Amino acid sequence: MKPDRWWVRFFYIWTGQQLSLVGSSLGGFALVWWLTITTGSAQVLATATIALIVPKVLLWPVVGAYVDRWDRRKIILLADTWTALVSLALAILFWIGAMQVWHVYVVIFARAIGGAFHQPAFYAATPLLVPERHLARVAGLGNVMEGTMSVAGPLLGALMITVLPIHGVMMIDVGTALFAVIPLLFFAIPASTRKDAKPTSTWQSIREGLAYVRSVRGLVPFIAAFAFLNLVVNPAYRFLPLLVTQHFEAGAISYASLSSAWGIGIIVAGLVVSVWGGFRRRMLTVVLGTVIQGLGTLLIGLSPAWAIILAVGGMGIAGFGNSTTNAPVSAIFQGGVPNHLQGRFFTVFGVIMMVAQPLGFAVAGPLVELIGIRTWLVAVGALQAAVVLGLLLLPSVRRLETTFVQVKDGFQEEHESA
């Protein structure tokens, strides 16, 4: 394929993946609402989220090493197929009336195994499909689609669970998986531009990923700060169904409206970043986005029971901030990390981001039931703004993007002379 036609292959593959997310969004909404109505427990929602996180924490260090060695197209293809089969099993359980809460934990755990392979493989494949100068815009476009799914998924999910049995909703998830699989049968993903001279062991590859993280000055405090934010922020958003049912005393449509507002914020920010590209110093865009998300979270927590529209607005602001943060972070990492290390780096980064989350949910579940979801949201909103502004006090973090380029150039010179 001609170099200037890169977008043909990329968008066939990318579009298939995005269409598959439609079904996943419907299925995810239906499952969360089923758990909320069936149990009304923050601890149940926390346990379901832990089941989603643990496989990634356990597998990502190992997966990263193999993503850098194996055919990334085959990894993505097998992961998509596995996830579809697990969703089919879930649909059957609902169909025969045998569904129990613990079944949801098992199914979520199994789906997360596929996701543990899929996410780093697709993330590391993107720079092989897209020229570096377009990575920020592609990341912004990805955020637009994520936002679109956040808008359409909950609304469609709320509609589907009123007109279809839940096993019918899950079968939609199975069917849309075909859109992800089919393009991968016809389009190849280029191999990494550099192969190791000799294969290394899995644990050696993991150590190399950790060594690279330590080699970039300012990266460790940056990752530590956002890992802490993940620990406190994610439970706040996972417990929003309880905010809807217990504080606003509303139903599925109101929960869908909150989720959709988040998606609208992501869409708007994605479009802005795709056209604008962010500040020349991408770290400034990261800080701005995180502060905006914190303010939105604060507004959600402060919204009185009679003003759910304020919470909807807060969700839109938070979604805008989240997307504004993620696009430049992706561009910094994808453009700065040497391609042959990207699988290892992104899995190490992902594990660090996620490893504290099971602890966060384990603590947040009973704590939210004690102090209330609104108090948690207010505290989280303030922390988001405070932590990221504190990062600006560190010169190494302010210069992180420049440091990435210097380290990358050093790695390239070392490998060219080897």
Number of domains composing the chain: 1
SS3 27: helix
- Max distance between CA atoms of the chain, in angstroms, equals 67
What DSSP character marks residue 70?
A: S
CATH number, domain with residue 262: 1.20.1250.20
What is the C-alpha to C-alpha distance for residues 82 and 110, in angstroms, rounded to an integer?
9
Residue 85 domain-assigned (yes or no): yes
Has residue 1 been placed in a domain?
Answer: no
Rama region for 40: left / alpha / beta (φ>0; ψ in -120 to 50; rest): left
Has residue 204 been placed in a domain?
Answer: no
CA distance 190 to 403: 28
In a domain, 294, yes or no: yes
Q: Which domain holds residue 125?
A: 16-188+217-417
Q: Is 92 exposed, middle or buried (0-12, 13-18, 19+ CB in 10 A)?
A: middle
Three-state DSSP at 255 gives: helix
195 part of a folded domain: no
Say if CB 177 and CB 11 are below 8 A apart: no
Look at residue 352 and tell me if it is in a domain: yes
Written as six digits, the tokens of 263 are 């998606």
Q: What is the pLDDT of residue 415?
A: 45
Q: How would you write the pLDDT of the chain (418 residues) with one tens digit per residue? A: 455 577 677 778 888 887 887 787 788 778 888 888 888 777 788 788 778 777 777 776 677 666 767 777 888 888 888 888 888 888 888 888 888 888 888 888 888 888 778 777 777 777 777 776 677 677 767 766 766 676 777 778 778 887 888 888 888 888 888 888 888 888 777 766 554 444 455 566 667 777 877 878 888 888 888 888 888 888 888 788 888 888 888 887 888 888 888 888 888 887 887 777 767 777 888 889 999 999 999 999 999 989 899 999 999 999 999 888 887 887 777 777 777 777 677 767 777 777 767 777 777 778 887 888 889 899 999 999 898 888 888 888 888 777 776 665 555 444 444 4
